[in-house]
């Protein structure tokens, strides 16, 4: 795996032609998780993928589509147009510098520009270039939603929503030093998104569930299950990508 801490010469000499781009968000995650929660998870998963492929792991895009949380200080949001422009420029930069396979990785459900096919729509502009997106929102990629659902089940957790038991456990496993000691729970109402109310009115602490029930052990079980299931799915979907570079036919 190569990163931005390598030199251009090291990347060129190694003939690296695959790039992995993590896209996260900067948005509130309750009173105990960092604003960068979604970015941290995307970075960890992208790192695993890049290591498996011997790819270039680019710096992450730490801002996504987070308009629903802008009542909470520190939250930042890109418009759909800005997201498209950023992705377009990244693809253009990577193609011009010799990359012919680009994977975008995101686990932030509101990043609809990423999930609804925009990166792939750029392929016609670059003949011979393969652009892929991996992620899990149920409304776009049912197989990835099933992966997370199965992983949560294996870890003995309820569903993963936002700053709840599952997501808090995951950050405890990945970055325990960033988890605060005082989670404030917000039980889920029957209608998680009641009309006419803002997210802060419904979830005043920002947590959608019970972050107080999280543990590092639960997070480790969840992460192990996610990696196993997700990497297996990736290799089944993109068998050509996981061949030795000399054997790939794009």
**In a 3-state reduction of DSSP, which class is residue 132?**
strand
Judge whether 3 lies within some domain.
no
Q: Where is average pLDDT lowest: 18-27, 101-110, 129-138, 189-198? A: 129-138
3-state helix, strand, coil in the chain (%, to 5): 45, 10, 40
Query: What is the number of domains present in the chain?
Result: 1
pLDDT given for residue 207 in this prediction: 97
User: Is the distance from CB of 102 to CB of 131 less than 8 angstroms?
Assistant: yes
pLDDT bracket for residue 247 (50, 70, 90): low
- Domain boundaries, position 240: 8-247
The yes-or-no verdict on residue 145 having pLDDT over 90 is: no
Percent of the chain with pLDDT over 70: 94
Judge whether 189 lies within some domain.
yes
pLDDT in tens, 28-72: 999 999 999 999 999 999 999 999 999 999 999 999 999 999 999
Element (H, E) at 85: helix 80-96
Judge whether 2 lies within some domain.
no
pLDDT in tens, 119-144: 999 999 999 999 999 876 554 566 77
pLDDT given for residue 37 in this prediction: 98
Q: Judging by beta carbons within 10 Å of its beta carbon (0-12, 13-18, 19+), is residue 160 exposed, middle or buried?
A: buried
Q: Could you tell me the pTM of the whole model?
A: 0.93
Judge whether 182 lies within some domain.
yes
Judge whether 15 lies within some domain.
yes
pLDDT given for residue 140 in this prediction: 57
Judge whether 179 lies within some domain.
yes
User: Is the distance from CB of 169 to CB of 155 less than 8 angstroms?
Assistant: yes
The yes-or-no verdict on residue 101 having pLDDT over 90 is: yes
Judge whether 1 lies within some domain.
no
Domain holding 154: CATH number?
3.40.50.10310
Judge whether 137 lies within some domain.
yes
User: In whole angstroms, what is the distance from residue 169 CA to residue 32 CA?
Assistant: 11
């Amino acid at each position: 795996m190569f990163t931005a801490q390598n030199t251009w010469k090291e990347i060129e000499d190694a003939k690296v032609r695959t790039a992995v781009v993590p896209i996260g968000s900067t948005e509130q995650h309750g009173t105990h998780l960092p604003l960068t929660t979604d970015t941290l998870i995307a970075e960890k998963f992208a790192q695993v993928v890049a290591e498996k492929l011997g790819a270039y792991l680019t710096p992450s895009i730490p801002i996504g589509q987070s308009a629903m949380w802008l009542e909470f200080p520190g939250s930042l949001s890109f418009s759909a147009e800005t997201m498209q422009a950023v992705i377009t420029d990244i693809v253009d930069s990577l193609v011009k510098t010799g990359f012919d396979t680009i994977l975008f990785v995101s686990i932030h459900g509101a990043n609809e520009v990423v999930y609804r096919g925009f990166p792939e729509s750029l392929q016609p502009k670059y003949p011979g270039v393969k652009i892929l997106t991996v992620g899990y929102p149920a409304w776009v990629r049912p197989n990835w939603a099933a992966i997370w659902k199965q992983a949560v089940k294996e870890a003995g957790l309820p569903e993963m929503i936002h700053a709840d038991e599952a997501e808090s456990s995951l950050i405890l496993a990945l970055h325990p030093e960033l988890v605060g000691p005082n989670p404030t729970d917000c039980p889920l109402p029957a209608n998680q998104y009641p009309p006419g109310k803002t997210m802060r009115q419904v979830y005043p602490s920002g947590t959608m569930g019970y972050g107080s029930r999280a543990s590092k052990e639960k997070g480790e079980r969840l992460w192990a299950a996610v990696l196993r299931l997700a990497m297996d799915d990736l290799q089944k979907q993109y068998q050509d990508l996981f061949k030795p570079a000399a054997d790939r036919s794009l």
